[in-house]
Amino acid sequence: MKKIINDPKSIVNEMAQGICLAYPQYVTQVALPEKGQAIIARSKKKTGKVALVSGGGSGHEPSHAGYVGEGMLDAAVCGAVFTSPTPDAVFEAIKAVKTDKGVLLVIKNYTGDVMNFEMAMELAEAEGIKTAKVITCDDVAVMNSTYTVGRRGIAGTVFVHKIAGAAAEAGLDLAAVQKIGEKVIANTRSMGIALTPCIVPEAGKPGFTLADDELEIGLGIHGEPGVVRGKIKKADELTAEILAKILADNPIKQGDEVALLVNGLGGTPLMELFVINRAAHEILKGNGAKVLWTNVGNYMTAIEMAGFSLSVLKLDAELKKFLDAKADTPAFKVV
């Protein structure tokens, strides 16, 4: 294993400290009773509006701490690498950012995340803190896996952070922000591929193996099995194969307006992501869609895994308004 780290057991806390030292104008660290986890919260606490809390296992940076700031999240809970944060950690995050308007939890659909975030909601409700939740489930690769009941939540979660966060910033109440988050989830589909595995620091070795000429289509962001393992193909072919799955699950018709997220998994050069983006635009336009919004880069990674995912969000007037609203966070900005 070649990694520039100190002790694998302290990596999450040291990462959190580094984030807060880099972006003190945006974020601060909240003290936690358990080691190996971290909470990143907004430096300037929101008042009089719904607060948003998200998170999960670390290793997906900039998710989720990179999206803490104006117009997106109020706190991100960073569990151990690829491991859900504990209910106590999520509860501490809720308490740190709660307002009289309530707290919305944005949860990715992994069994541990759902269970622990829901337990934290029960703790919060017992203390009189209003909470609600949305569960992201955008991955069309598999319906069920060892880690989920239903689809996995992957990079499409960033759309929920952005749009629900903007709705909260605009002053909508908890039920309305939850409803908008659910609309984003209903209209978002994603799928990804991996060219290489990644190494969890405490494991010290790759979680799976791929031959030099192999890739895995539909692989999860923690290395969960995909749909099929095959030979490497050209960028245009891979893009077409993934978009065919996405559009089969959530068809678009002539004139539909969409947002596109081309997401790197940590080890893919921007050069290659832009080649994929070119192909994706051509395919979506060929299917009659108008691509109104595009972002290309690393938004939800899998440590150093080489690969990419595509997320397509069908837009309406409300979603467009909140997607275009101001956001100012370390990893995502709309001016």
Q: Which of 64, 161, 222, 281 is catalytic?
A: 222
CB neighbour list of residue 203: distance below 8 Å, 6 or more residues apart: none
Active-site annotation holds for 161: no
Q: How far apart are CA 82 and CA 58, in angstroms?
A: 6
Q: Which of 60, 64, 161, 281 is catalytic?
A: 60
What value does the CA radius of gyration of the chain take, rounded to a whole number of Å?
A: 19
CB neighbour list of residue 179: distance below 8 Å, 6 or more residues apart: none
**Distances 258 to 185, 262, 264 between C-alpha atoms, Å:** 14, 13, 20
Instruction: Give the distance between the most distant pair of CA atoms in the chain.
Output: 56
| Nearest one of 38, 42, 40 to 12, comparing CA atoms | 38
Strand-pair partners of 262: 296, 310
Q: What's the DSSP call for residue 48?
A: S
Q: How far apart are CA 113 and CA 124, in angstroms?
A: 16
Active-site annotation holds for 64: no
Instruction: Tell me the catalytic residues.
Output: 60, 222
